[in-house]
Amino acid sequence: MRASLCGIEQRDCHMVAHAQTMNAELPAFVRRLSPAFAALPLGPALTLSLRALARRRPAVFERLGEFRRERYFIDPVDLGFAFTVVPDGERAQVSVARKGEAATCAIVIRGPLLALLALLDGSRDGDALFFNRIIAIGGRTEAVVALRNAIEDAELTPADFVGLDGPLARLADAGVLGGLDMARRLAAAAPARAGREP
């Protein structure tokens, strides 16, 4: 989230108006519906996806440089667990982690799940999210910068992560992106409907 910030100032981004939307928590029913949270071993599944991505897009990981071997603690504040990620290309490792394990990692990135997912699908500018205090970072700032720049250049889609390709990828894009958009709209409306969700 850093590199672009030399010279960026907090009100440079167009995200201020959206900050309220992004801050809303993920409604419980969306969590249950989202395929990403089926009761399967998340860690191994994501590890395989990340390694598959590395095989298809080695340049993304090469761009990370030395920071590919760092442990990143990715903490969605609206989930009961977090992830540790070592984005070391074909040796990448993703594990589900307890919230307290942040100390074992050199970098911590924390924020609402929607925001973290938006970083990956490129629909939200990491700098804007950081400056508007929607996501928080800790630890080696330069590693976050490297990650942000690698993701920026990669132009990833959710399909890249799920490890699908061809027609399945297009379905997945429409499905997950549509799901994300729906989730965002729901999240925006959630405060008005508070108390009426199952």
Partner 1 sequence: MMWPQRMELVCPAGTPATLRAAVQAGADAVYCGFRDDTNARNFPGLNFSVPELAEGVRFAHGLGAKVLVAINTFARVGEVDRWRRAADAAVECGADAIIACDVAVLDHVARNHSGRVRLHLSVQAAAGTPEAIGFYARTFGVRRVVIPRVLSVQEIAALNRAIDVETEAFVFGGLCVMIEGRCYLSSYATGRSPNLNGVCSPPEEVSYDEDADGMAARLSGFTIDRYRPGEPAGYPTLCKGRFAAGGKASYLFEEPVSLNAGSLIAGFKAAGVTALKIEGRQRGKGYVAEVVRAFRSAVDAVEAGGDAVEIDRLLAAQSEGGRQTAGAYRKTWR
Residues that bind partner 1 (CB under 8 A): 2-14, 16-17, 59, 62-65, 67, 122, 125-127, 130-133, 136-138, 140-150, 152-155
Q: Which residue, 52 or 144, is less far from partner 1 as judged by CB?
A: 144
Which two tokens mark 134?
């929607």
Strand partners, 84: 73, 95
To the nearest whole angstrom, how small is the minimum distance from the Cβ of residue 33 to partner 1? Answer: 29
In angstroms, the Cα distances linking 53 to 66, 151, 171, 188 are 18, 12, 18, 32
- Separation between Cα atoms, residue 168 and residue 164, nearest integer Å: 6
To the nearest whole angstrom, how small is the minimum distance from the Cβ of residue 20 to partner 1? Answer: 12
To the nearest whole angstrom, how small is the minimum distance from the Cβ of residue 22 to partner 1? Answer: 13
Q: Which residue, 74 or 108, is less far from partner 1 as judged by CB?
A: 108
For residue 9, the 8-state DSSP code is -
Residues in the chain: 198
To the nearest whole angstrom, how small is the minimum distance from the Cβ of residue 180 to partner 1? Answer: 17
Q: Which residue, 14 or 196, is less far from partner 1 as judged by CB?
A: 14
To the nearest whole angstrom, how small is the minimum distance from the Cβ of residue 125 to partner 1? Answer: 5
Which two tokens mark 139?
């630890």
Q: Which residue, 43 or 138, is less far from partner 1 as judged by CB?
A: 138
Helix (H, G, I), strand (E, B) or coil at 112: coil
Cβ-contact 195, 84 below 8 angstroms: no
Which residues 6+ apart lie within 8 Å of 176 measured at CB? 35, 158, 159, 162
Q: Which residue, 30 or 71, is less far from partner 1 as judged by CB?
A: 71
